[in-house]
């Protein structure tokens, strides 16, 4: 009988083997969680770039909407620096203002043309990302 009881004890796992198995499992799960967290961060960053691009496009379209027969006289009112806006490009008094928009209007460099530059920064955590999304267009003041 002593041989049978020795065999039963040899079939089990030692405490060291259990600890090693738990450590290896934790290491694998930690690696998977790190990849998931990084993927979520990239997804959020991609969403912010998409929203910032749409805010800039909307501002460009507003500049294009200025009437040609007025000679773009009112276009200078679009000029702004670091205006806090929401996801719709609006500046409400309250709300989630995670974007900062600047619009530059240049009518002096190119005769008969107006250069409109819109740049939008977005928050990354609590601070604004140092890089921004920038769109540039040139509008003609040509009239028939």
Radius of gyration over every alpha carbon of the chain, rounded to an integer in angstroms: 30
- For the stretch 39-97, pLDDT in tens is 888 888 888 899 999 999 999 988 888 765 566 677 888 889 988 898 888 887 777 78
**Residue 118: strand, helix, or coil:** strand
Residue 128 above 80 pLDDT? yes
Mean pLDDT value of segment 7-31:
83
Q: Identify the residue with better confidence: 109 or 133.
A: 133
pTM exceeding the 0.75 threshold for the entire prediction = no
Instruction: Name the burial class of residue 78, with classes exposed (0-12), middle (13-18) and buried (19+) by CB atoms within 10 angstroms of its CB.
Output: middle
CA–CA distance, 120 with 53 (Å, rounded to integer):
8
83: which strand partners? Answer: 101
What are the sequence ranges of the domains in the chain?
2-140
Tell me, what's the pLDDT at 96? 76
């Amino acid at each position: 009988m002593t041989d049978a009881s020795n065999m039963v004890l040899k079939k089990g796992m030692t405490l060291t083997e259990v600890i090693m198995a738990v450590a290896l499992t934790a290491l694998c799960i930690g690696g998977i969680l790190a990849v998931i967290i990084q993927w979520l961060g990239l997804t959020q960053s991609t969403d912010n770039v998409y929203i910032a691009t749409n805010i800039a496009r909307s501002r460009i379209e507003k500049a294009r909407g200025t009437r040609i027969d007025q000679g773009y006289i009112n276009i200078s009112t679009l000029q702004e620096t670091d205006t806090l806006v929401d996801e719709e490009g609006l500046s409400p008094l309250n709300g989630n203002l995670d974007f900062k928009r600047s619009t530059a209007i240049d009518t002096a460099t190119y005769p008969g043309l107006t250069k409109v530059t819109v740049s939008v920064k977005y928050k990354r955590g609590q601070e604004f990302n140092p890089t921004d999304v920038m769109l540039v267009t040139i509008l003609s003041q040509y009239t028939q």
